[in-house]
A and B are shown apart, each in its own frame.
Chain A
Amino acid sequence: MPGGQERILRRRINSVQSTKQITRAMELIAATRVVKAMTRANAARPYSTKMTGVIEDLAAGGVGIDDPLLRSSENVSSIGFVVITSDRGLAGAYNSSVIRAAEKEIMAAQTEGKDYKLVLVGKKAADYFRFRNYEVEASFSGMTDTPSYEDARVIATKVRDLFVSEAVDQVILAYQEFVSMGTQRVAVRKFLPLESMQTVASEGGGDADSRALFEFEPSPEGVLSALLPRYVESRLYSALLDASASEHANRQRAMKSATDNAEELITKLSRALNRARQDAITTEIMEIVGGAEALGDGSSEETTEHDNDTQITV
């Protein structure tokens, strides 16, 4: 039946059209979310800058380095991995690239005979590693879209406990770093133990020598022990914010290409539809002409008229 193919094509075009509308909407939503996430990341920056500033002051004050969070052990026998992914998919290669990088590190640790502990952020990572029978120490989800400082604190506390209780000797953080709107890259970084304070201080770029005369209350050590846990929280918080900005940027890109693909598909299908419709019309005319000719035992004039009609219609 000639109308059959047409109907099928029309149905497909409709379905692609509505998919396109959805992906377009998601693209626009993701675009506004990226901007919001970037604003949040910028708003959080003064705190971590100041935090680094205080560490510079402490380093300048010559504080003895004696804190569990600065403990670095020569023999690493167990590594903790913090993997930050999203709760939702449809973000292109966002989740899979982070997970792949983390899994590579885990395998490398295993071949070296080291133990691993997984702290997973986001549903996608939890699903992936649980399904593959990895041992999961803790998983957090439900906040990767717009992480709050409180979320960061909860995760940081867990990570810190693992490290301070010596369940792990090192913590590695895997997430997607937000470089710019167009560039995000997977970052696998050492998270704990913290670099020595001098390293942190020199990263801050401050001129530590000129500010060596600080007074501390209650004591430099007291300030340090209150400061380091917060420093860990703040670093994790900025990683979460980076990850959420990357997630939205990735989703925007993925949805843009999905929209483009849908458009392309619609063009192709419309062409196929037009051709099918034309084919059907031509076939029908041929049938009519053929039928008329078969019937036409009368005058040849009538047939010629029919022929003319046909040409006009086509």
Chain B
Amino acid sequence: MSLRIELVSPERVVFEGDAELVIARTSDGEIGFQPGHVPFVGNLVSSVVRVALSDGGVQRIAVHSGFVEVSDNHVALLCDVAELAEDIDVERAKASLDNAKNDLASDPSNFNAEAAIHRAEVRLEASAGI
């Protein structure tokens, strides 16, 4: 028995596959899903979702807020923005991290910069695992 995982962004289905274990982070903390999990709905926070695929590989995905719905061995990740680790532009993430850090240094109350730093860090964390 395995989990059917679907990663969906508003514009398209980003990833589909069978998995043994999915680890995501909701607003209450990290949570893992294995086959047979009870029906569950949670708010995802900007983080790295790790998926242990049935073929033995591990898929890392950077998600930026959204939802996770689990029912009948079916995991649906609904994300505003979702990037597979291999699709992440590391150079761009590094550049935006630097930019955001500079912005934050010049204006410590800049929430956008803080959020941008977090997003960039999530991207880098996801791509670091490959």
Chain A residues engaging chain B, CB cutoff 8 angstroms:
40, 43-44, 46-47, 50-51, 53-54, 57-58, 148-149, 152, 211, 213-218, 222-223, 226-227, 230, 233-234, 237
> Across the interface, do B10 and A218 meet the contact criterion of CB distance under 8 Å?
no
> Across the interface, do B27 and A148 meet the contact criterion of CB distance under 8 Å?
no
Cβ of B55 under 8 Å from chain A: no
> For B80, what are the chain A residues with a Cβ–Cβ distance below 8 Å?
149, 230
**In the complex, what's the smallest C-beta–C-beta distance from B78 to chain A, in angstroms?**
5
**In the complex, what's the smallest C-beta–C-beta distance from B39 to chain A, in angstroms?**
4
Residues of B3-39 whose CB lies within 8 A of A: 6, 8-13, 26-28, 31, 38-39
Q: When A and B form their complex, what is the total count of cross-chain residue pairs whose Cβ atoms lie within 8 Å?
A: 82
One of B40-48, B85-93, B95-103, B120-128 at the interface: B40-48
Residue ID in chain B nearest A42 by CB atoms: B12
* CA of A44 to CA of B31, assembled, Å: 27
> For B27, what are the chain A residues with a Cβ–Cβ distance below 8 Å?
217-218, 222
Cβ of B114 under 8 Å from chain A: no
Q: List 12 A-B contacts (CB under 8 A).
A: A40-B11, A44-B10, A44-B12, A50-B8, A54-B41, A57-B71, A211-B39, A211-B71, A214-B40, A217-B42, A218-B42, A223-B67
Chain B residues engaging chain A, CB cutoff 8 angstroms:
6, 8-13, 26-28, 31, 38-43, 65, 67, 69, 71, 76, 78, 80
* CA of A227 to CA of B67, assembled, Å: 8
**In the complex, what's the smallest C-beta–C-beta distance from B86 to chain A, in angstroms?**
20
Residue in A50, A211, A214 whose CB lies within 8 Å of B76: A50
* CA of A217 to CA of B30, assembled, Å: 11
> For B26, what are the chain A residues with a Cβ–Cβ distance below 8 Å?
217-218
Residue in B31, B42, B78 whose CB lies within 8 Å of A47: B78
> Across the interface, do B11 and A50 meet the contact criterion of CB distance under 8 Å?
no
**In the complex, what's the smallest C-beta–C-beta distance from A155 to chain B, in angstroms?**
14
> Across the interface, do A217 and B9 meet the contact criterion of CB distance under 8 Å?
no
> For A214, what are the chain B residues with a Cβ–Cβ distance below 8 Å?
38-41, 71
